[in-house]
Amino acid sequence: MSGRVLELRVHGVSNTPPGQTLGLPPEPGGDPPQPRLVAGGEVTGFYRAPGGGSDDPLVVEAYSWGQLTSGGRTARDVERALWTLLLPFTLANVALHARPGIPADPDQERWASRSGITAWLIRVFCLSLTSTLVVAVTGIGVDLIGWQCVDDACLGRIPGPWEFLAHGWWSEGAHALAVGLLVPLGLLAVLGMVAWRTYQYEAEMPADPATSAYLRPPVEAPTDASPPVAQPPQEPPPAPEPPPEDPTNPLQDPTFWLGEGQLRRGAVLHLCTGTVVAVAVPLGTVLAMDPPRGVRAVVAWPTVAVCAAVLVIAVVGLGRPYLTRRAGDTPLGPWSLAVAVLAALAVAGTVTLLLLPAGPAGTPLRELRPPPGCARDSALPGCGADRSLPGYDWIIAWLATGQLLLLIAIGAVARSGRRALAAPGAAGLLLTASVIWMEGWLPGTSPVSWAPPVWVLAVPAIALAAVGLVLPRTRAAVDVQPLAPHTDLAWGGRGPAVIAGFGWLLCIANCAGLIYWVTDRLDGAATPTGRSAIVPPTPVLWAGLAFAAALLALVITLLRAGLLFHRLRRREYAELVPPGHTLSLHELRRCRDVSAYRALHRLVGEHAIRLTGCYAVAAAALITLGCAAALSHARPHPAAATDGSAVLKAVSDVGDSMLSWLPVLVATIGALVYRNDTVRRTVGVVWDVGTFWPRTAHPLAPPSYSERAVPELQTRIAGLLALNRHDPRRMDGIILSGHSQGTVICAAVILQLPARWRRRIWYFSYGCQLTRLYGRVFPAYFGPDRLPTVTEALTNPPGRTGWTNFWRDTDPLGWPVNAGERDLAVRDPEALHPSGGEVADPPIRSHSGYPDAAEFHYERARVARLLRRAVPSQRRGVG
């Protein structure tokens, strides 16, 4: 009896429906037949065509995972749309996996190594990204509401009963700041609940049917009254699996997709650090403006010590194995509980200090706040001055500058190793020491009057740090790709910094836009950049100008991409239409269409990463100037702008207004991802690529669908191959067929499977970007020295490699892999004109429809014969 072969198809992004994945033709009524669910559930399931028999030699099955991300219209669409606001956390998390030189065995990674230092810097950056969001929301609650809103007219514009803050005991001293802390603490509580709910993905564990398939139920001893029951013939258990060889790819780590315990500990650390950062904003203001004495000092200084202890534990703990090593469902541990207790003590101490009566020393806080009545009449005395929370602008400016230096350090170390850390480290130390010296913060010193402003020192310090980015690459980072040109490491080995930097820019834009939007609502009819009662932080005003410049740079980059596309299209058209051709007008028109697809294929595969790098350079220059401007503590224009400054004010207002609607736009796009197929196929690409990787750097990022998809595919494949030979569901061979992003999922599944199952698997990849995208951006997993691991895993002892890759020159994401597999070029379109009685032109399928191609059918038939040939014939009994 010939063996049965299953083709298990895994779709790519945009949540292709199971019926479309299976290639079911539409019925006469127009609707395709509904596939039947054979395993799984409503969210993720395995589907087959209706009417299939148990004796079909070749069975096609589709695995649908798209509802884990940009899935269909479900009740959780609103919640998932809000996940798009956490896209900065996703990009920062992806940066950890873009490091070159990650050891194949995670136990071999040392903190002092290049990859270890880069990982620690990225995790510290992720912690600062959480702090950025917390600082922004703390500014809304503490600065805008608790500090600057001092009368009923302003507080009445806030939903809820906030008017009590303008009267009686609550209007005295810093009492209102304690109420303002409810805003950031509430945000952290929501983030914690969302993160806790999403751990169900990481809780998935692959099941090994090799043992359960041979467990026998207990059989009672036969008696005289009960005749013996005939048992079906049983197969002997398989031979024990040989000990695993040393891993050659990090994806072979059995705990790579099992990080529930690590995520819980990381989330506790991020939430507690965010809590301490939130309380540090009002705590620092009160300590600076009203130095504590007596009872206030007894409360204040221990609270400061507790806050410092939490920050030190967090920064040190990010490099410890209990936060860097994934080990499944493990408990929180004493360090997590200690940090939680310390964070609670910090909140209690800060709230107590804010509610105590004002001290006798220092500047009275009521003199620093705006006078009542400014919300009704901004012309009152004292209403034109900047009465924002003292020190808040300073916190934002220095946090952004520190993050920029941290990004430079990440890119430098990832590219050139530990030696590149000297330049950004020296720049940070020199800048910090200069500020301490100029401000007279050293004991026995006074401020230096002749010293230059801080922003003048910031630009050369950042330029000094950037020297580390241009050092020669280390040997481990120089990987010669087999498909030259256009296949070198992305961005010269600086990939982690580029990806994390884009997440940082998006986070800053969202936070600045949120602050400006709230300020605009509290100001009523006044413009926040003009004479208004509520003043936004100065860095927010500069962010509007930077955002407008960033949009201009983006337009220039897109124009450059358009020119490249036009040039490539002309070249492709010239190749399709040689001189002296005899093509008809119809065929010439078709050649123009085909040349457009081929040009897009080359633009994405050869120039997209370089264009992204050019935009990253422009963004880095803008953010450097923005940090220097924020450190100057000067507004980009006067409140009453005239002449040339009026133009600057208009540009700033437009930029700030666009920023204020950016979070709404991001959330709207996130909602359309689940409602609109076109948006799902475009924006969903970025989302599905980002959420493929596990949350090993930022635990508050949206969940990774692969944490569930990879274990489910492992369980399904092993379960069908391990069934008894007499079971009609058994498969003797499986063609694991992945499209687009599905090729990455399938590669991860193959590297997780034991050798006894891989021997009976053949891998089909089509629309595959393992070399041109993943191999360049994630070289530690799919680089030229790591991708052949997949080929080796699918190579049987006779030397047969079970991997076929299909690609088209009209597919922008489908390229040859050249890692030892069999590459097959698929013709697209099949012809330039109708044939065989057809009246419509053969379609240009580009990135879709690979299973419908003739090359795919021929190769599948060949592979099915090979898989069946490996199945021994069943012996017949002699009687």
Does residue 852 have a pLDDT over 80? yes
Residue 160's pLDDT is 81
Most confident option among 76-90, 132-146, 427-441: 132-146
Mean pLDDT of 660-677: 72
Residue 214's pLDDT is 42
| Alpha carbons 446 and 243: distance in angstroms, whole number | 68
Asked if 857 and 827 count as a contact pair (C-beta separation under 8 A), the reply is no
Q: How far is CA 458 from CA 71, 304, 625, in A?
A: 46, 28, 9
Among 185-194, 521-530, 833-842, name the one with the lowest average pLDDT.
Answer: 521-530
- More reliable by pLDDT, 231 or 681: 681
DSSP state of 582: -
| Alpha carbons 662 and 667: distance in angstroms, whole number | 9
| Alpha carbons 336 and 62: distance in angstroms, whole number | 42
Residue 425's pLDDT band (cuts 50, 70, 90):
very high
Residue 678's pLDDT band (cuts 50, 70, 90):
low
Q: How far is CA 346 from CA 301, 303, 304, 509, 853, in A?
A: 11, 5, 8, 29, 64
Mean pLDDT of 640-648: 71
Residue 345's pLDDT is 97
| Alpha carbons 40 and 288: distance in angstroms, whole number | 60
- Structure-block tokens of residue 489: 């490491």
Q: Could you tell me the maximum CA-CA distance found in the chain, to the nearest angstrom?
A: 112
191-194-200 Cα angle (round to 5): 140
Among 301-315, 635-649, 863-877, name the one with the lowest average pLDDT.
Answer: 863-877
Mean pLDDT of 750-756: 92
| Alpha carbons 684 and 15: distance in angstroms, whole number | 9
Does residue 215 have a pLDDT over 60? no
% of the chain surpassing 70 pLDDT: 85
Closest CA to 462 of 537, 394, 406, 518: 406
Residue 864's pLDDT band (cuts 50, 70, 90):
very high
pLDDT digits (tens, 9 = 90+) for 15-38: 788 888 998 887 666 666 789 999
pTM of the entire structure? 0.91
Among 181-195, 641-655, 734-748, 749-763, name the one with the lowest average pLDDT.
Answer: 641-655
Asked if 258 and 202 count as a contact pair (C-beta separation under 8 A), the reply is yes
Residue 34's pLDDT is 86
Residue 357's pLDDT is 83
| Alpha carbons 470 and 273: distance in angstroms, whole number | 34
Closest CA to 476 of 533, 414, 428, 536: 414
Residue 525's pLDDT is 65
- Structure-block tokens of residue 565: 């596309």
Does residue 433 have a pLDDT over 60? yes
Burial (CB < 10 A; 0-12, 13-18, 19+), residue 316, is exposed
| Alpha carbons 695 and 499: distance in angstroms, whole number | 15
Question: What does 115-132 look like in DSSP terms, one character per residue?
Answer: HHHHHHHHHHHHHHHHHH
Mean pLDDT of 848-868: 93
Residue 534's pLDDT is 84
Residue 200's pLDDT is 66
Closest CA to 826 of 796, 794, 858: 858
Residue 682's pLDDT band (cuts 50, 70, 90):
low
% of the chain surpassing 90 pLDDT: 49
- More reliable by pLDDT, 853 or 16: 853
Q: Hunting for tokens 């596939």 — which residue is that?
A: 35
Q: How far is CA 168 from the centre of its chain?
A: 47
| Alpha carbons 65 and 71: distance in angstroms, whole number | 8
Asked if 782 and 771 count as a contact pair (C-beta separation under 8 A), the reply is yes
Asked if 11 and 66 count as a contact pair (C-beta separation under 8 A), the reply is yes
Residue 671's pLDDT band (cuts 50, 70, 90):
low
User: Mean pLDDT in the chain?
Assistant: 85
pLDDT digits (tens, 9 = 90+) for 499-554: 999 999 999 999 999 998 998 888 876 677 666 778 889 899 899 889 999 999 99
Residue 805's pLDDT is 96
Residue 735's pLDDT band (cuts 50, 70, 90):
very high
Mean pLDDT of 213-225: 44
- More reliable by pLDDT, 637 or 88: 88
β pairing state of 36-40 and 45-48: antiparallel
Closest CA to 409 of 497, 491, 498: 497
Q: Hunting for tokens 């209690």 — which residue is that?
A: 348
Among 242-251, 407-416, 584-593, name the one with the lowest average pLDDT.
Answer: 242-251
| Alpha carbons 747 and 774: distance in angstroms, whole number | 12
Residues 6+ apart with CB under 8 A from 409: 121, 420, 421, 424, 425, 465, 468
Q: How far is CA 371 from CA 271, 365, 376, 638, in A?
A: 36, 12, 11, 21
- More reliable by pLDDT, 191 or 234: 191
Does residue 434 have a pLDDT over 90? no
H helix count then E strand count, the chain: 29, 8
Residues 6+ apart with CB under 8 A from 774: 744, 781, 782
Residues 6+ apart with CB under 8 A from 278: 134, 135, 137, 138, 181, 184, 185, 188
Q: How far is CA 716 from the centre of its chain?
A: 27
Residue 871's pLDDT is 55
Residue 239's pLDDT is 57
118-119-122 Cα angle (round to 5): 85
Residue 220's pLDDT is 45
DSSP state of 20: H
Ramachandran area for residue 833 (φ above 0: left; ψ -120 to 50: alpha; else beta)? beta
- More reliable by pLDDT, 359 or 465: 465
Residue 683's pLDDT band (cuts 50, 70, 90):
low
| Alpha carbons 719 and 155: distance in angstroms, whole number | 62
Residue 216's pLDDT band (cuts 50, 70, 90):
very low
Closest CA to 454 of 408, 543, 542, 394: 394
Q: How far is CA 44 from the centre of its chain?
A: 21
Please write down the long-range contacts of 636-642, taking CB distance under 8 Å and 24 or more positions apart. Answer: 636/541, 636/542, 636/545, 637/529, 639/384, 639/529, 639/530, 639/531, 640/530, 640/531, 641/530
Does residue 477 have a pLDDT over 50? no
Residue 368's pLDDT is 79
β pairing state of 803-807 and 822-825: parallel
Q: HSE of 371 in the Cβ direction (CA atoms, 13 Å)?
A: 10
Q: How far is CA 159 from the centre of its chain?
A: 33
Residue 877's pLDDT band (cuts 50, 70, 90):
very low
Please write down the long-range contacts of 829-838, taking CB distance under 8 Å and 24 or more positions apart. Answer: 829/590, 829/594, 830/854, 832/583, 832/586, 832/587, 832/590, 832/591, 832/594, 833/584, 833/586, 833/587, 833/590
| Alpha carbons 692 and 258: distance in angstroms, whole number | 14
Mean pLDDT of 323-334: 82
Residue 878's pLDDT is 36
| Alpha carbons 380 and 383: distance in angstroms, whole number | 6
Mean pLDDT of 7-13: 92
| Alpha carbons 640 and 526: distance in angstroms, whole number | 12
Ramachandran area for residue 262 (φ above 0: left; ψ -120 to 50: alpha; else beta)? alpha
β pairing state of 58-64 and 45-48: antiparallel
Mean pLDDT of 339-358: 93
Does residue 794 have a pLDDT over 50? yes
Residue 238's pLDDT is 56
| Alpha carbons 516 and 600: distance in angstroms, whole number | 39
Residue 745's pLDDT band (cuts 50, 70, 90):
very high
User: Radius of gyration (Cα) for the chain, nearest Å?
Assistant: 31
Residue 648's pLDDT band (cuts 50, 70, 90):
confident
Q: How far is CA 706 from CA 44, 257, 563, 742, in A?
A: 12, 7, 37, 10
Residue 879's pLDDT is 34
